[in-house]
Structure 1
Amino acid sequence: MIVPFILLLAALAGIVAALALPGMSDLLLLAGPCALASLILLLQGWLRRPAKAPEKPRAARKPSIRSRQPANAAPKWIVIDGSNVMHWKDEVPQIGTVQEVVKHLTGLGYAPGVVFDANAGYKITGSYQHDGALGRLLGLPEERVMVVAKGTPADPTILAAARDLGARVVSNDRYRDWAETYPEVLTPGHVLRGGYRDGKLWLDA
């Protein structure tokens, strides 16, 4: 995890230099893809990393969602487009909507991971919220929640994570702009749609 993080920092420094210094614009062609690739590597390691165990066992502690999976069974991953899902109810961004979708999918036997745009926290709470903060709001380990960097689109991160994990995506976005790179989005059932009817959640799952 350290090497991709160092590469990401170097790429971001290159982007800043390309934007700030005259004659360095060509550097953006290298730094931009490097930043995206580093983010994808970080996400892959981050979603696969087991939840941290507490230093001292607590009898009253509620087991994590990951720990409820049978030891010999691979998680049934599903990736939630958090910034899309949070608008499903009344078209108003609400963390409660994502919470309900997470709970519903968990009840169906899935292990959800959630990816948000950088501005998700501002829309929900009025201030920036990092992975851990949104994870606590959702009742998920920090390793299952990702807030992409400012200025970085969440869509390719969502689709890359789903491909790597062999998972489906929950969103009402059809991802047409990414269909050439990720043709699986055109496969019926790969992207699960949902919403609310008469105040009740529905999902294609």
Structure 2
Amino acid sequence: MLSDLLLLAPAAIIFVILLLLRLRGRATDSVPSEDTAPRSAIIVDGSNVMHWGGDPSLDVLARVLRSLETVGFSPIVFFDANVGYKVGERYYTEETLAPLIGVRFDHIVVVDKGVVADEMILQCATDLGARIVTQDKFRDWRVRFPHAAKKGVLVSGKYTNGNVKWARPLKV
């Protein structure tokens, strides 16, 4: 019996390694890179911004995105895996969200369940040298991602009375 387990152990280890590599690849496959992101890219913490008006709302998020586009930005929006359950009653994919917020599906990333969206947001912003639209300060992540501590990287605002108000004027 013990000899059978010893024979299966290498196969089990290889299986776990391959599974982890596959999951790791899936989490980053759809994240825009320097080669695919527009020069005017700005990262949007969609799961955060959709709360700017109070209850989670894709309409509020869409208005924030239009405000960014008016200034000349090309938003890349990240969501936690549970976004569909926050604004609806089912899982939402990038393709589901695209028409609801008016952004191309390849500029939307819904992270896999169990993946920390903040980490992917910060990694993408660091890789692109881009700003991040959020109310989050990312204090727990600043040692690993010092880009977030740079002046002007974190862009905040609010949504009141049907209008987007930026904490500071925005320029591309």
What's the TM-score, normalizing by structure 1?
A: 0.67
Maintained 8 Å contact 2:134/2:154: yes
RMSD: 2.7
Letter in 2 for 1:145: I
Structure 1 stretches (4+) deviating beyond 4 angstroms? Answer: 27-34
5+ long unaligned stretches in structure 1 = 1-23, 50-73
Task: Determine the C-alpha separation between the residues in 2 that align with 1:186 and 1:126.
Answer: 36
Q: Which residue number in structure 2 is paired with residue 169 of structure 1?
A: 132
In the alignment, what sits opposite 1:113? 76
Q: How does 1:1-205 map to 2 (within 5 A)?
A: 35-36=23-24, 39-44=27-32, 48=36, 75-89=39-53, 91-203=54-166, 204=168, 205=170
Q: CA deviation at 1:167?
A: 1.0
Aligned equivalents of 1:142, 1:123: Cα separation in 2: 19
Distance 1:177 1:123 in 2: 24
**Contact 1:44–1:164 under 8 Å retained in 2:** no
Specify the alignment match of 1:61 in structure 2: none
Give the secondary structure class of the aligned counterpart of 2:112.
coil
Distance 1:180 1:199, change over 3 A: same
- Computing the radius of gyration from Cα coordinates, the structure with the larger value is 2
C-alpha distance in structure 2 between counterparts of 1:47 and 1:35, whole Å: 23
SS in 1 for 2:31: helix
Contact kept, 8 Å, 2:60 with 2:159, in 1: the verdict is: no
Do the aligned residues in 2 keep the contact of 1:46 with 1:144 (CA within 8 Å)? no
Deviation at 1:31, TM superposition (A): 6.5
- How far does residue 42 in structure 1 lie from its aligned partner after superposition? 3.6
Q: Distance in 1 between matches of 2:148 and 2:28?
A: 18
CA distance in 1, matches of 2:98, 2:78: 10
Does structure 1 conserve the Cα–Cα contact (< 8 Å) formed by 2:34 and 2:127? Answer: no
Name the CA distance, whole Å, in 2 between partners of 1:180 and 1:82: 23
Q: Distance in 2 between matches of 1:42 and 1:128?
A: 17
Higher relative contact order (CA 8 A, sep 6+): 2
**How far apart are the structure 2 equivalents of 1:144 and 1:125?**
21
Q: CA deviation at 1:75?
A: 3.0
C-alpha distance in 2 between matches for 1:140 and 1:124? 17
* Mean Cα deviation higher: 188-197 or 99-108: 188-197
Distance (Å, rounded) in 1 between the aligned partners of 2:44 and 2:82: 16
Please say if residues 46 and 143 of structure 1, whose CA atoms lie closer than 8 Å, have aligned partners that are also in contact: no
